[in-house]
């Protein structure tokens, strides 16, 4: 494997594991200290009770986060795509919090609640991008050998 490809895959793994850790933390917070705040995000049209929805989504986040952290290389692309789908699925909760002017997580103004809406697409992108890069090296952009030689030379400390 070319050094640049290995570096890109290491970065992708780190990004996916960081996302997994964040999901595990968020899931635990659903079940414990932030439960009340998460209830504020559950849209009124969800057929389950708000607390049941928060508990179920917390368990799902812990499972998804653990999968991102511990999955083998072959399953990471699929799990990254599932994480992206999860972020899309819970986006209506962020919209509901904004539309219904519900204060939670320090989002106590319309401007703050509106700004929060833009973080969800970033999470979707993060999940998809790490899923794409963690797949086989053949899907990574090919570098010309002279670029790989330059990167190898620079990494080893040689200047000429």
Q: What is the DSSP string of the chain?
A: --HHHHHHHHHHHHHHHHHHHHHHHHHHHHHTTTHHHHHTTS-TT-SS-HHHHHHHHHHHHHHHHHHHHH--TTTHHHHHHHHHHHHHHHHHHHHHHHHTT--BTTB-SHHHHHHHTTHHHHHHHHHHHHHHHTS-GGGSPPPPHHHHHHHHHHHTT---
Q: What is the pLDDT of residue 141?
A: 44
Q: What is the pLDDT of residue 143?
A: 43
Are 20 and 62 within 8 A, CB to CB? Answer: no
Mean pLDDT, the chain cut into blocks of 10 residues (160 residues total): 69 90 98 96 96 97 96 89 96 96 96 96 93 52 52 53
Q: What is the pLDDT of residue 138?
A: 43
Q: What is the pLDDT of residue 137?
A: 45
**Prediction pTM value:** 0.78
Distance of alpha carbon 62 from alpha carbon 68, whole angstroms: 10
Distance of alpha carbon 37 from alpha carbon 102, whole angstroms: 9
Q: What is the pLDDT of residue 158?
A: 56
Per-position b or e across 72-85, b if 16+ CB within 10 A of its CB: eeeebbebbebbbe
Report which of 158, 58, 41, 146 is spatially closest to residue 103, judged by C-alpha positions: 41
């Amino acid at each position: 494997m070319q050094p640049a490809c290995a570096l890109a895959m290491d970065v992708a793994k780190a990004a996916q594991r960081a996302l997994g850790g964040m999901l595990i933390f968020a899931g635990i917070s659903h079940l414990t200290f932030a439960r009340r705040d998460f209830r504020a995000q559950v849209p009124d049209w969800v057929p389950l009770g708000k607390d049941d929805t928060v508990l179920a989504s917390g368990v799902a986040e812990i499972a998804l986060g653990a999968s991102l952290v511990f999955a083998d290389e072959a399953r990471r692309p699929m799990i990254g795509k599932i994480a992206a789908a999860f972020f899309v699925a819970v986006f209506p909760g962020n919209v509901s919090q904004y539309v219904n002017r519900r204060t939670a997580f320090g989002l106590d103004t319309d401007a703050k609640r509106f700004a929060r809406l833009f973080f969800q697409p970033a999470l979707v992108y993060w999940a998809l991008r790490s899923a794409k890069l963690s797949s086989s090296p053949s899907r990574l952009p090919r570098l010309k050998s002279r670029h790989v030689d330059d990167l190898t030379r620079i990494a080893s400390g040689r200047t000429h």
